[in-house]
C-alpha cells in the first residue's frame, strides 16, 4: 500500500525533474476529458495528489519527489515548451522556435504578453538566468543534455539562443522538461514564493497543501477555474477514500485498484490516459545468460502480453511491441506486433544452447503497483517454455544500488510518454548514462544520429523507423505493455488532460459544470 | 539515555542499504552527480563525525538539514503540533475511558459488567490500529457518510475541520483504552484486598464511596505509570493512523524519511518523540511521588 512515490516521479521526471508539466497551449480539445457543453468560468477545483511530507521540495529546479509539489510548481511556473497530442513539443512560454541549418543553434521566441504574476514582463534575460540555474543543478547535465550553460544566451528582449553541442532536432522536446522560468536573480530562499508566469498564482502553501488562484493575465489564454486547492495524500488508499466520500473533485494518478472500485460507481469518472507508464523487463545484453540475441528474442516470444495487461494492469493498459516511446507521433505502428510463440521460443533457446536446467533470478521491486505482479506472472509464463525463473523482490533503495543498470534480468519502469529519441539517447545508445541493458549496437547508434540530425521530417521519420526496427529486434527491453494513467474525477469536472505522463498536470483548460 | 538512543538511530540508518544521496537523487543524475551530492550531504564522512555535528548543534535548536535541503525544524513545524493534538486528545480520552470502565467493572467484581469489560478490553487491545481504522472508515464514512474519510489541511497547516480528528483519535484510543482498562481494573483489584479497603467494606460504606475514596487513591501510582506508558504506543500507532486518514502529522514525515535514509530528519523526529515521552513519564513519576508521599 505504501509504494514509493519518489520512484514513480523519478521515472516521470525521467531525465529531469519537474518535467512534462505544463499545458499544451490551450485549444487541444481532443486531449481533454468530457464534452459537457460550453466551458464555464468559475469554481474551485479540489484535487488530490500523492506526496510525502518528508520529501517536500519547493524549488522549481530542485529534486522534487512529490507529485503534489510538481502539480503546484507546474501551475505556477511555465516551461518553455510542453508535451502535446500531435507533437512531442508544443509552445508554452516560448511561442515559436527556429533552428539553424545545422540544427545546432536554436532560437526561442518568448510568447507575446507573457508577464510574471507581479506584472513585470518576461524577458530573455529571465529565461537565460533560469535555464542556466537549472543547468547548474546536480542533475543539470541530464536535464538539459548537450547544452552548456554558457551556450544559453539572450538576443534582444524576447529571443533566447541555445547552442547545442551537437546537431539536435529534438532540442525543443528537451525544453518541455523542467524548464521552469523564474525572474532573473530570484534568491534561493525566495524560490517557494517566487512569482511565475503560469496560469495560476500561489495563494498559500502549507506542508504539501496549497491554494492557487487564477492568473487573470495569463499569456496562454482564458483560464476558467477561480482557484485550485491541492491536497497532498501520503497513501493512494487515503486519496481514493477522499474521492469516494466527496472531499475532493479529482484524484490525480489514482491507479488501477482505485479505478476498479470507482468503475462500479456512476458518480465518479474514470479518466484513462493511455501510454502512461512502461514496465519493461530488462535483459542484460553485454554478458550473462541473456547476452545472446536469440535468447532475448525467445524471452520476448514467451510472454503472453494480453494476459499481462489483463491481470497485471486490471485491463487498464495496452499491449506493447518491445519499443519504448509508444506515445511518440513517430511510433512505428507498422512493425508487426510480436505475439506469443512458445514453439519458436523453444527452438531459439535450443539454438542458443540456453541452459534450461538452471533457475534464473528476476529482480523486481514494489515501487509501482503491478510491477512485482508483472514479474511473478512473467515467471509463470516462462515456465511454460521450460525456463525456470525465480522472482526476487528488492527494497527500492537496494534495487537502485545493486540491481539497476547492473542486473542480468530485472523489471523497471518509466512513468512518462517520453519520445522515442528520449529513450534511445538515455537508455540505448552506446555508453549512455542509463543504459539499463548495457546495449550497444552500431546500426542503432547510426539511426539515432541520423534521426536527431535530420532537419527534413520525412528523413527523420525514416531514421526513426529504422531505429525502432532495430530496437524491436535486438534490444534488451521486453516491453509487454503500457499502463494507462488513471485519474478519478467527479462528474462536474470537465476538460481534464488526457495526455500521458506529466501531461496530467495541465489543468488550465479544466472547468466545472454547475 | 536520549544520547544513546540517537546514536543507535544514526548507526541503524547507516546499516540500511542505500543512502540519502542515492535515495533522493534523480534518475538522470548519474554516478558523478550522486557522488557530489553525497559529499554535499557529508555522507562520505564517518557516521560518528556526522552524529557529533548533529548532536552538538541540537542544544541550539538546530536539527540539521534534510537530504533534500530543507531545514528539519521547518519540516517538523507543522506536523509536530498536529501529532501532539492527535496524541494528547487520544491520551486524555484513553485515560478517562479506562478509568471509567475500570471503575465500572470494579464496582461488582466478577459481575456481568466486569466480565464484559474484561472481554472487550482484551479484544480491543488485541486489535491493531490498522484494523480499527479501516473498520471506522467503512462504518462512519464510506457507508454512512457521517464523517470525512480523509484529513484536508487549511491554510494554517492544521486539519480543516474538527470532524476530521474524530476517526484518527478513535483509532488510536480504542486499542489503548483496552490495555489501560485492564491496568486500572487490576490496580483496583489489588487495592480491594488491602486492609483499609476491606475495613471500609465491613463498615458497610457504599461501593461508590469505597472505590473513589479508599481504593482509587492507592491505585493512582500504578494507573499513572500504566497510562503514561501508553504514550509510546500512541505515537507508534500514529504513524499508521496518520497515513490511513491522511492526517498531517509527524508519523508521515518519519515513514518517508526512513525510506529516504534521511538521518537528520529521522533523528529529529526521534528526538521530539523521545522528549514528549520523557515529559509524560516524568509527570507520571510526579503523580507517583505525590501519592506515595515521597519526593523523587
DSSP string, A144-191: STTEEEEEEEEETTTEEEEEESS--TTHHHHTTSS-----TT--GGGG
Separation between Cα atoms, residue A468 and residue A462, nearest integer Å: 10
Is A299 within 8 Å of A290 (Cβ atoms)? Answer: yes
Instruction: Average the pLDDT over A464-481 and give the result.
Output: 97
Looking at per-residue pLDDT, the higher value among B69 and A105 belongs to: A105
Selected residues 131-170 of chain B with any CB under 8 Å from a CB in chain A:
137, 141-142, 145, 148-150, 152-157
B25 vs A contacts (CB less than 8 Å): 63, 138-139
Angle at A263 between CA B168 and CA A212, to 5 degrees: 60
Looking at per-residue pLDDT, the higher value among B49 and A444 belongs to: A444
- Mark yes or no for CB contact A55/B18 under 8 Å: no
Looking at per-residue pLDDT, the higher value among B257 and A129 belongs to: A129
Q: What is the DSSP letter of A93?
A: S
Separation between Cα atoms, residue A310 and residue A467, nearest integer Å: 29
Decide if pLDDT at A177 tops 80: no
Instruction: Average the pLDDT over B141-160 and give the result.
Output: 89
Of B295, B254, B284, B292, the C-alpha closest to B95 is B284
Q: How far is CA B108 from CA A154, A447, B115, B196, in A?
A: 87, 88, 10, 18
Q: Which helix (H) or strand (E) holds A1?
A: none
Q: Output phi, psi for A256, to 5 deg.
A: -65, -30
Please list, in sequence order, all residues whose beta carbon lies within 8 angstroms of the beta carbon of residue A192, skipping any fewer than 6 positions away: A58, A59, A205
Minimum mean pLDDT among A373-387, A432-446, B185-199, B282-296: which range? B282-296
Q: Which helix (H) or strand (E) holds B264?
A: helix B263-292
Selected residues 5-24 of chain B with any CB under 8 Å from a CB in chain A:
16-18, 22-24
Minimum mean pLDDT among A103-117, A223-237, A460-474, B214-228: which range? B214-228
**Count of alpha carbons within 13 Å of B256, Cβ hemisphere only?**
30
Separation between Cα atoms, residue B286 and residue B296, nearest integer Å: 8
What pLDDT is attached to residue B202? 83
pLDDT in tens, B52-87: 888 888 888 888 888 877 788 888 888 899 999 999
Instruction: Average the pLDDT over A449-474 and give the result.
Output: 93
Decide if pLDDT at B27 tops 50: yes
Residue reference for cell 468559475: A42
- The torsion of the CA quartet B238, B243, B245, B246, rounded to 10 degrees, works out to 120
DSSP characters over B12-74: HHHHSSS-HHHHT--GGGHHHHHHHHHHHTTTTS-HHHHHHHHHHHGGGT---B-TTS-BHHH
What pLDDT is attached to residue B118? 87
Distance from CA of A400 to the nearest CA of B (A): 8
What pLDDT is attached to residue B166? 93
What pLDDT is attached to residue A5? 34
Q: How far is CA B163 from CA A393, B148, B170, in A?
A: 40, 7, 12
What pLDDT is attached to residue A32? 54
A60 in reach of chain B (CB within 8 A): no
B256 in reach of chain A (CB within 8 A): yes
Angle at B11 between CA B9 and CA B16, to 5 degrees: 95
Minimum mean pLDDT among A30-44, A224-238, A411-425, B221-235: which range? A30-44
Q: Output phi, psi for A324, to 5 deg.
A: -85, 140
Instruction: Average the pLDDT over A22-44 and give the result.
Output: 59
Burial class, B75, CB count within 10 angstroms (exposed 0-12 / middle 13-18 / buried 19+): buried
What pLDDT is attached to residue A232? 94
Decide if pLDDT at A141 tops 90: no
Decide if pLDDT at A11 tops 50: no
A400 vs B contacts (CB less than 8 Å): 18, 22-23
pTM assigned to the model: 0.83
Q: How far is CA B267 from CA B50, B58, B80, B136, in A?
A: 12, 10, 14, 32
DSSP strand pairing (A511-512 vs A493-494) = antiparallel
B25 in reach of chain A (CB within 8 A): yes
Instruction: Identify which of B33, B156, B265 has the shortest CB distance to residue A139.
Output: B33
Q: How confident is the model at residue B239 (pLDDT cuts 50, 70, 90)?
A: confident
Average pLDDT of chain A, as a whole number: 88
SS3 B288: helix
SS3 A101: coil
Separation between Cα atoms, residue A403 and residue B18, nearest integer Å: 12
What pLDDT is attached to residue A203? 96
Decide if pLDDT at A73 tops 90: yes
Average pLDDT of chain B, as a whole number: 85
Decide if pLDDT at A284 tops 90: yes
Instruction: Average the pLDDT over A350-362 and give the result.
Output: 96
Angle at A502 between CA A164 and CA A257, to 5 degrees: 150
The pLDDT > 70 percentage for chain B reads 96
* Bridge partners, A110 (sequence order): A94
Decide if pLDDT at A12 tops 70: no
Q: How confident is the model at residue A19 (pLDDT cuts 50, 70, 90)?
A: very low
What pLDDT is attached to residue B225? 86
DSSP strand pairing (A317-319 vs A481-489) = antiparallel
What pLDDT is attached to residue A30? 41
Decide if pLDDT at A4 tops 70: no
- Mark yes or no for CB contact A6/B137 under 8 Å: no
Instruction: Average the pLDDT over A289-299 and give the result.
Output: 96
pLDDT in tens, A118-127: 999 999 999 9
Amino acid at each position: 500500500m505504501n509504494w514509493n512515490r519518489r520512484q514513480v516521479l523519478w521515472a516521470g521526471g525521467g531525465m529531469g525533474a519537474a518535467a512534462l508539466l505544463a499545458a499544451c497551449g490551450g485549444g487541444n480539445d481532443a486531449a481533454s476529458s468530457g464534452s459537457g457543453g460550453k466551458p464555464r468560468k468559475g469554481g474551485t477545483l479540489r484535487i488530490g495528489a500523492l506526496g510525502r511530507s518528508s520529501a517536500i521540495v519547493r524549488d522549481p529546479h530542485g529534486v522534487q519527489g512529490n507529485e503534489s509539489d510538481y502539480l503546484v510548481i507546474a501551475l505556477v511556473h511555465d516551461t518553455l515548451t510542453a508535451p502535446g497530442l500531435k507533437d512531442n513539443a508544443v509552445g508554452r512560454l516560448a511561442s515559436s522556435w527556429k533552428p539553424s541549418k545545422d540544427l545546432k543553434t536554436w532560437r526561442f521566441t518568448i510568447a507575446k504578453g507573457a508577464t510574471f504574476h507581479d506584472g513585470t514582463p518576461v524577458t530573455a534575460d529571465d529565461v537565460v538566468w533560469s535555464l542556466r540555474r537549472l543547468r547548474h543543478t546536480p542533475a543539470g547535465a541530464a536535464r538539459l543534455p548537450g547544452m552548456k550553460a554558457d551556450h544559453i544566451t539572450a538576443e534582444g528582449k524576447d529571443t533566447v539562443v541555445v547552442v547545442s553541442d551537437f546537431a539536435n532536432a529534438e532540442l525543443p522536446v528537451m525544453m518541455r522538461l523542467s524548464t521552469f522560468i523564474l525572474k532573473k536573480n530570484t534568491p534561493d530562499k525566495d524560490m517557494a514564493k517566487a512569482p511565475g508566469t503560469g496560469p495560476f498564482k500561489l495563494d498559500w502553501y502549507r506542508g504539501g497543501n496549497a491554494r492557487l488562484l487564477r492568473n487573470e493575465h495569463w499569456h496562454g489564454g482564458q483560464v476558467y477555474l477561480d482557484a485550485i486547492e491541492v491536497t497532498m495524500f501520503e497513501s493512494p488508499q487515503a486519496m481514493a477514500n477522499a474521492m469516494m466520500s466527496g472531499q475532493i473533485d479529482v484524484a490525480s494518478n489514482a491507479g488501477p485498484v482505485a479505478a476498479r472500485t470507482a468503475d462500479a460507481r456512476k458518480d465518479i469518472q474514470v479518466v484513462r490516459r493511455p501510454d502512461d507508464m512502461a514496465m519493461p523487463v530488462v535483459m542484460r545484453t553485454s554478458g550473462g545468460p541473456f547476452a545472446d540475441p536469440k535468447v532475448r528474442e525467445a524471452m520476448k516470444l514467451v510472454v503472453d502480453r494480453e494476459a499481462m495487461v489483463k491481470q497485471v494492469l486490471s485491463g487498464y493498459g495496452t499491449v506493447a511491441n518491445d519499443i519504448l516511446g509508444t506515445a511518440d507521433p513517430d511510433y512505428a505502428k507498422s512493425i508487426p506486433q510480436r505475439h506469443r510463440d512458445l514453439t519458436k521460443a523453444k527452438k531459439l533457446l535450443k539454438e542458443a544452447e540456453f541452459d534450461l536446467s538452471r533457475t534464473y533470478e528476476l529482480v523486481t521491486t514494489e515501487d509501482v503497483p503491478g510491477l512485482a505482479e508483472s514479474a511473478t506472472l512473467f515467471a509463470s509464463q516462462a515456465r511454460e517454455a521450460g525456463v525456470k525463473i525465480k522472482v526476487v523482490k528488492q527494497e527500492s533503495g537496494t534495487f537502485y544500488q545493486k540491481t539497476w543498470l547492473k542486473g542480468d534480468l530485472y523489471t523497471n519502469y518509466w512513468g512518462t510518454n517520453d519520445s522515442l529519441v528520449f529513450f534511445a539517447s538515455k537508455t540505448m545508445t552506446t555508453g549512455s548514462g542509463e543504459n539499463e541493458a548495457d546495449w550497444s549496437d552500431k546500426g542503432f547508434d547510426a539511426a539515432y544520429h541520423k534521426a536527431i540530425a535530420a532537419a527534413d521530417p520525412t528523413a527523420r521519420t525514416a531514421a526513426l523507423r529504422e531505429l525502432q526496427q532495430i530496437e524491436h529486434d535486438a534490444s534488451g527491453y521486453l516491453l509487454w505493455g503500457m499502463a494507462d494513467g488513471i485519474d478519478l474525477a467527479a462528474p462536474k469536472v470537465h476538460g481534464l488532460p488526457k495526455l500521458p505522463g506529466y501531461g496530467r498536470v495541465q489543468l488550465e483548460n479544466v472547468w466545472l459544470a454547475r | 539515555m536520549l544520547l544513546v538512543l540517537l546514536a543507535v538511530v544514526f548507526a541503524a540508518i547507516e546499516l540500511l542499504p542505500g543512502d540519502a544521496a542515492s535515495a533522493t537523487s534523480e534518475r538522470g543524475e548519474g554516478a558523478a552527480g550522486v557522488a557530489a551530492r553525497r559529499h554535499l550531504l557529508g555522507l562520505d564522512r564517518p557516521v560518528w563525525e556526522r552524529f557529533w555535528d548533529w548532536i552538538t548543534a541540537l542544544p541550539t535548536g538546530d536539527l540539521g538539514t534534510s537530504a533534500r535541503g530543507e531545514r528539519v525544524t521547518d519540516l517538523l513545524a507543522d506536523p509536530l503540533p498536529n501529532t501532539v493534538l492527535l496524541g494528547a486528545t487520544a491520551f486524555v480520552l484513553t485515560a478517562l475511558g479506562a478509568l471509567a470502565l475500570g471503575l465500572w467493572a470494579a464496582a461488582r467484581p466478577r459481575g456481568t459488567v466486569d466480565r464484559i469489560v474484561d472481554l472487550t478490553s482484551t479484544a480491543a487491545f488485541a486489535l491493531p490500529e490498522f484494523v480499527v481504522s479501516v473498520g471506522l472508515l467503512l462504518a462512519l464514512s464510506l457507508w454512512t457518510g457521517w464523517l470525512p474519510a480523509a484529513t484536508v489541511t487549511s491554510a494554517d497547516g492544521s486539519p480543516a475541520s474538527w470532524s476530521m480528528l474524530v476517526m484518527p483519535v478513535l483509532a488510536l484510543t480504542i486499542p489503548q483504552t483496552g490495555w489501560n482498562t485492564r491496568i486500572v481494573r487490576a490496580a483496583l483489584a489489588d487495592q480491594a484486598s488491602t486492609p483499609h479497603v476491606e475495613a471500609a467494606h465491613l463498615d458497610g460504606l457504599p461501593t461508590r464511596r469505597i472505590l473513589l475514596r479508599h481504593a482509587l487513591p492507592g491505585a493512582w501510582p500504578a494507573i499513572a505509570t500504566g497510562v503514561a506508558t501508553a504514550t509510546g504506543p500512541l505515537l507508534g500507532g500514529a504513524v499508521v493512523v496518520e497515513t490511513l486518514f491522511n492526517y498531517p502529522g509527524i508519523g508521515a514525515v518519519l515513514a518517508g524519511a526512513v525510506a529516504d535514509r534521511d538521518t537528520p530528519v529521522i533523528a529529529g523526529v526521534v528526538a521530539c518523540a523521545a522528549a514528549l515521552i520523557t515529559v509524560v513519564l516524568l509527570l507520571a513519576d510526579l503523580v507517583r511521588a505525590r501519592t506515595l508521599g515521597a519526593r523523587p
